[in-house]
Chain A
């Protein structure tokens, strides 16, 4: 009896120590070993480059969008996606596969979007997301260039008589959570010492529905979103957007941090849209430029030099992008311009040469 107890006891102790030792070792090798493996395995600069290859092998880009903001990303009655955010993804797919339709769109809400990117569920987030410092650092995102310069505004019912922020004292304001909007509103009201009642929702549809029902005296969002969603309200003409713009919201596509190769690809595809407009190249006149003698144009279209190679793309990737989706101006006009319901003036979303903020670094 005693002997059996002894054997059992010993084996128990042995197993436990073995267990402990094992798991301890595994943990150390994993936590300590991973970064080393990363640097040796993939080289110091390209922490990864994996994503690019993954997408290439998959033959399709997975793109996270909102799907609920007309003009930016919206699913039409025919099930087709449209909008400026959507076109950015199409442009990237055109550069990678010479096919703007090699994209799978995933609708993400404000809360899901960063996790979806961090966990690799989507390759790129093109979802009217504001570029902020904390998102670029602690949230772990790498932002591509801004594709739309926006600002936060406030919409009220015309009948309310509200003309400015100060008139919003003690009023209920509908806001969507998980957005910079919520913080900007708090900041502005604090600055002006105005007390107000935030009514906050997670879902953009419910936020606007609650405003439409009359629960809130005002609703705040990016100006473009107010214009865009305002068209879907029961009586759009009964509402007005206040003049005051309370923040700057640079909206940009983003990729997960730590994969500079993939990040560069997205960045330079966006730049190519701007550069094309600057050079006056669009989807209609692209053919006329193939024989151009302008070295800048030749480098851009890949008929001279090997700029694409550096990105792992064909040298004429920009030409492919322009052929399939057009330049930035075309994308803007198609989705937000005067011919659309939204009719947003280009304003600061004009090229730098025309007084706007858009600028592409040189293609050389």
Chain B
């Protein structure tokens, strides 16, 4: 009865499982070595691992806050302020960059020579220079290049531009926030433009011809026929760009915008809790990224072809 059964060492299922177990074992070994190494080093320096420091008084001020915060509050509240600041940049950035990216992407396919080439130049410049450089450019050359608040540039009496940032009728955006937002928007927008162009290009010529033969105008063809089909190709790489924008917002530290990475850096600096703070940061960015992915995947499912 057991004659037709191969011996254990010739059974591929055995080797599959054994391979996985070995991998698991090696992973556990690496983690153990790292943790014990960390433990030993911390012990040698007399440092305790723990998150108690989050309840301590932060005693530093934060320039921009959307919720009430004062230096007597705790590190955890300071970090929350930073998280909200990061979300503020990420969310407005994602909205703006989508608009910029789609417009630039569609413009690349325009029949108008000027429009097409302006878009080309924009995409190539912003895609091929480092983001950090662009942020410093926006901050120092653009926003700090504006005149002092006393003689600000006024646009249509509505928008004021000065070293204090962008003054809108309702509120003022600091130069740090504005530089970060515009930097992220135009940088990521250039990538999105290419994704949109590729997505539109992926829709077969027959769709254009069919739409035209129905007598639709070019604008309507794009809106009703081509773009919805292109979305299927666009959304997955678009998700990656949203993730990049969110993570790149941590470069805020270079131009003084107090996002979570910035506040965490200060916290780490004052408390010396490198490991704990890094863990918190990793978890935060992981949570942000997973949330974006989740939302975008849900959206992706709604635009996919439904086979009936």
Q: Do A and B come from one complex?
A: yes
Given contacts A35-B43, A48-B44, A257-B46, contact A200 B258 (CB under 8 A): yes
Given contacts A8-B13, A19-B25, contact A258 B44 (CB under 8 A): yes
Contacts of A7 in B (CB 8 A): 8
Determine the distance from Cα of A167 to Cα of B5 in the docked complex, in whole angstroms: 90
A199 touches B274 (CB 8 A): no
Determine the distance from Cα of A187 to Cα of B58 in the docked complex, in whole angstroms: 11
Contacts of B40 in A (CB 8 A): 30, 34
Contacts of B24 in A (CB 8 A): 19
Partner of B60, one of A114, A140, A183, A197: A183
- Total cross-chain contacts (CB, 8 A): 145
Determine the distance from Cα of A111 to Cα of B132 in the docked complex, in whole angstroms: 19
Partner of B266, one of A115, A139, A177, A213: A177
| CB interface residues, A 86-139, toward B, < 8 Å | 110-111, 114-115, 118-119, 134-135, 137-139
Chain A proximity of B281: nearest CB distance (Å) = 13
B45 touches A118 (CB 8 A): yes
A209 touches B140 (CB 8 A): yes
Chain B proximity of A200: nearest CB distance (Å) = 6
| CB interface residues, A 192-249, toward B, < 8 Å | 196-203, 206, 209-210, 213-215
B32 touches A23 (CB 8 A): yes
Interface SS of chain B: helix
Determine the distance from Cα of A183 to Cα of B18 in the docked complex, in whole angstroms: 56
B59 touches A27 (CB 8 A): no
A215 touches B144 (CB 8 A): yes
Contact with A along B54-76 (1 / 0, CB 8 A): 00000111110000001110000
Partner of A27, one of B2, B32, B47: B32
Chain A proximity of B144: nearest CB distance (Å) = 4
A15 touches B254 (CB 8 A): no
Chain A proximity of B280: nearest CB distance (Å) = 16
A198 touches B63 (CB 8 A): yes
Contacts of B53 in A (CB 8 A): 138
Contacts of B201 in A (CB 8 A): none
B272 touches A183 (CB 8 A): no
Determine the distance from Cα of A209 to Cα of B136 in the docked complex, in whole angstroms: 11
Contacts of B47 in A (CB 8 A): 138-140
Contacts of A199 in B (CB 8 A): 63, 176, 256
B256 touches A206 (CB 8 A): yes
B45 touches A200 (CB 8 A): no
Interface assignment of A69: CB less than 8 Å from any CB of chain B: no
Given contacts A185-B61, A210-B256, contact A47 B17 (CB under 8 A): no
B11's nearest neighbour on chain A, judged by CB, is: A4
Interface assignment of A340: CB less than 8 Å from any CB of chain B: no
Determine the distance from Cα of A48 to Cα of B253 in the docked complex, in whole angstroms: 37
Contacts of B62 in A (CB 8 A): 198
A190 touches B72 (CB 8 A): yes
Contacts of B41 in A (CB 8 A): 118-119
Interface assignment of A357: CB less than 8 Å from any CB of chain B: no
Interface assignment of A186: CB less than 8 Å from any CB of chain B: yes
Determine the distance from Cα of A281 to Cα of B220 in the docked complex, in whole angstroms: 90
Interface assignment of A182: CB less than 8 Å from any CB of chain B: yes
B144 touches A200 (CB 8 A): no
Determine the distance from Cα of A19 to Cα of B11 in the docked complex, in whole angstroms: 23
A178 touches B144 (CB 8 A): no
Interface assignment of A343: CB less than 8 Å from any CB of chain B: no
For the A-B complex with A15-B25, A203-B254, A257-B44 known, give 20 more contacts whose Cβ atoms are closer than 8 Å.
A4-B5, A4-B8, A16-B21, A19-B25, A30-B39, A31-B39, A111-B268, A118-B272, A138-B48, A139-B271, A140-B47, A177-B265, A178-B266, A179-B269, A187-B71, A190-B70, A206-B254, A213-B140, A257-B45, A258-B45
Contact residues of B with A, CB < 8 Å? 2, 5, 8, 11, 13-14, 17-18, 21, 24-25, 28-29, 32, 35-36, 39-41, 43-48, 53, 59-63, 70-72, 140, 144, 148, 163, 175-176, 253-256, 258, 262, 265-266, 268-274
Offer 6 A-B interface pairs, CB within 8 angstroms, sorted by A.
A19-B25, A111-B265, A202-B253, A210-B144, A257-B45, A258-B46
Per CB-CB distance, the 6 closest pairs between chain A and chain B, nearest first, are: A139-B272, A140-B45, A30-B36, A178-B269, A213-B144, A186-B71
